[in-house]
Structure 1
């Protein structure tokens, strides 16, 4: 998208783009699929990620400053002392440094640092090892999460089933719908779209659900005739049944259509007539074949 430009030629929009080998090409805009977002400033071109880049630049500046402080804290200077007498020249200063180092630092196994009354004070250099404060890091991370619409648990794969469903419905599913609409426009003609042809982006988010949730969905749809055995097995990441055995649909026997009598009601009606549905008395006196033959003879 960064190498594309939409131009207006006598009222018709064209897409001017650059190929991988650096050549310029143009194509009618109406023949392209254009998936865009962040359209507050421009409904056609949308907006880039400049607002987030400012936040990233601020974070990088703070990180560089912290690294400079850390490098300064690793200076070879470990002690700072103040003499109560003036130093005559550089050689005298170097001699005093070597003496102090030889007596207190080099080969000193006692752990005790000593100096005489020629020094008014002697302080150890404190090191700053903190790169950035935890509050600053947390604030930067929250700004990034809010901009991209994603949370820390999702990035670390530590989300729960409800957190994943919320993320899918708010971020993933809208993109899939938009991609399907764009591909529908590119693949099918206007008449084909009016006839109901469309490209739908399917994503089985049940693969991220818990085993219990997948079992509930698989059995809940299978015994109501909403899914076949193979589709229920697919939810559980299991292979289909051989020889097409899993392509059938089954409905539990206690379900019936509204307004139709239940089994117990039909049995009571049969008992009132004195006939058993399975007995010969309940069967018709004439078969269907004989009835068709008589009707042919009459005609």
Structure 2
């Protein structure tokens, strides 16, 4: 009979024990711990749709392992690139992996990714995003280690150099991004109260409310009995018709209910406060953006996140020696996918003419399949080498034939 293993054991194993003699890391002006606040805010539909819009687009980023050699960029085509492009770990494909990183980035302002390496050869087995209830920074043998406390009470401790740490709202704390709690909670509470008020107003408008006035003298117990019976028969949601009937013993006087509700403009203003906090707007969330609006969103939100990921993945994946040899991780997106067809054609014509884009790269912009030998770069013969321009002007070199280059 096979032994059952928990998800925790499948990721972290059972043999590795956290280091002993840990002490809390001494910070300059802050505490060495972080407590997650993401749960409450993510329950809001406005927040969730906003975060989803960001995460969906981040999920389309493509990781590349490059080497910069003598000023030239070479594709490394390494196992690391395959992991980051296809399946960063055993449980996630690349899209879901980056989607989760983006979600954690906005919800807790701290992203933690553990680099799991094979024992002995230091080769990377996978990248695992860690979502925990709290994180502590500890000191062990002069180095910083990170202790994660997960929501089920389990703990795991890893060296900080094996943790990819991406931050947002980095201000007072020496190591962690600030919590969303104080900044986001007031507006979320206001939206929640408003939604509850709308629901209560709808319920109230569907019910009868009023005073039952008896025309005859009744004992208190009889009055209460008839009032309860009248309420049960007519003042509940089961009274779909909204009509109450009385005889001469009682007179019903309706109380008009006038619930106060905010208008669309006020509701939109509250939602815009959430959008502004996350650096977006309603058009991005609803995928109703123009080419210019998408470009502004990409440059202000997605590109900075991709830049920070590239820097942090590079620093934690490669040793100083490997980085010195030009190894680097880049995250890029095909921004032309969101341009208009006219813009795509103009850009492709310009870049292909100048040898800056291959045929297959141009086809990719239009979501067309690559062709054989399409990775070649072609260029127009109407351009000359800049170093030869002066020679042409001074007559030292034969002028090129029309449409060709000089000798």
TM-score, normalised relative to structure 1: 0.69
Match of 2:291 in 1: 161
- The structure with the largest helix share of the pair is 1
Within 5 Å, which residues of 2 pair with 1:61-72? 61-72=193-204
How far apart in 1 are the matches of 2:340 and 2:155?
Answer: 50
How far apart in 1 are the matches of 2:150 and 2:192?
Answer: 33
Within 5 Å, which residues of 2 pair with 1:87-236? 87-89=216-218, 125-128=255-258, 131-236=261-366
- Structure-2 change in CA distance of 1:182 and 1:92 (3 Å): closer
Match of 1:271 in 2: none
Q: Work out whether 1:252 is the aligned partner of 2:396.
A: no
Unaligned runs of 5+ in 1: 99-115, 269-299
Decide whether the 8 Å contact of 1:215 with 1:236 is kept in 2: no
How far apart in 1 are the matches of 2:375 and 2:199?
Answer: 64
Tell me the SS of whatever aligns to 1:47. coil
Please give the per-residue CA displacement for 1:19-63, whole angstroms capped at 9, x wherever unaligned: 687532211212321111111221301212102123212221233
How far apart in 2 are the matches of 1:255 and 1:187?
Answer: 41
- Structure-2 change in CA distance of 1:124 and 1:21 (3 Å): closer
From 13, 24, 31, the counterpart of 2:144: 13
How far apart in 2 are the matches of 1:247 and 1:66?
Answer: 59
How far apart in 2 are the matches of 1:137 and 1:155?
Answer: 16
From 22, 37, 47, the counterpart of 2:168: 37
**Bigger mean CA offset, 68-77 vs 53-62:** 68-77
Decide whether the 8 Å contact of 1:222 with 1:250 is kept in 2: yes
- Structure-2 change in CA distance of 1:59 and 1:193 (3 Å): same
How far the C-alpha of 1:141 sits from its partner, in A, is: 0.8
How far the C-alpha of 1:162 sits from its partner, in A, is: 0.2
From 157, 160, 170, the counterpart of 1:26: 157
- Structure-2 change in CA distance of 1:20 and 1:186 (3 Å): farther
Tell me the SS of whatever aligns to 2:144. strand
How far the C-alpha of 1:251 sits from its partner, in A, is: 2.3
How far apart in 1 are the matches of 2:259 and 2:186?
Answer: 27
How far apart in 2 are the matches of 1:187 and 1:81?
Answer: 77
Unaligned runs of 5+ in 2: 1-131, 231-247, 401-407
How far apart in 1 are the matches of 2:375 and 2:278?
Answer: 42
Decide whether the 8 Å contact of 2:133 with 2:151 is kept in 1: no
Larger radius of gyration: 1
Number of aligned residue pairs: give it.
245
How far the C-alpha of 1:217 sits from its partner, in A, is: 1.3
How far apart in 2 are the matches of 1:19 and 1:124?
Answer: 56
Match of 1:76 in 2: 208
How far apart in 2 are the matches of 1:134 and 1:43?
Answer: 42
- Structure-2 change in CA distance of 1:43 and 1:214 (3 Å): farther
Tell me the SS of whatever aligns to 1:214. helix
Tell me the SS of whatever aligns to 1:33. strand
Tell me the SS of whatever aligns to 2:138. strand
Decide whether the 8 Å contact of 1:73 with 1:126 is kept in 2: no
- Structure-2 change in CA distance of 1:52 and 1:241 (3 Å): same
Higher relative contact order at CA 8 Å, sep ≥6: structure 1 or structure 2?
Answer: 2
How far the C-alpha of 1:142 sits from its partner, in A, is: 1.7
How far the C-alpha of 1:148 sits from its partner, in A, is: 0.7
User: What's the C-alpha RMSD, in Å, of the aligned pairs?
Assistant: 3.7
TM-score, normalised relative to structure 2: 0.52
How far apart in 1 are the matches of 2:169 and 2:223?
Answer: 70
How far apart in 1 are the matches of 2:380 and 2:358?
Answer: 13
- The structure with the largest strand share of the pair is 2
Decide whether the 8 Å contact of 2:208 with 2:254 is kept in 1: no
- Structure-2 change in CA distance of 1:9 and 1:134 (3 Å): same
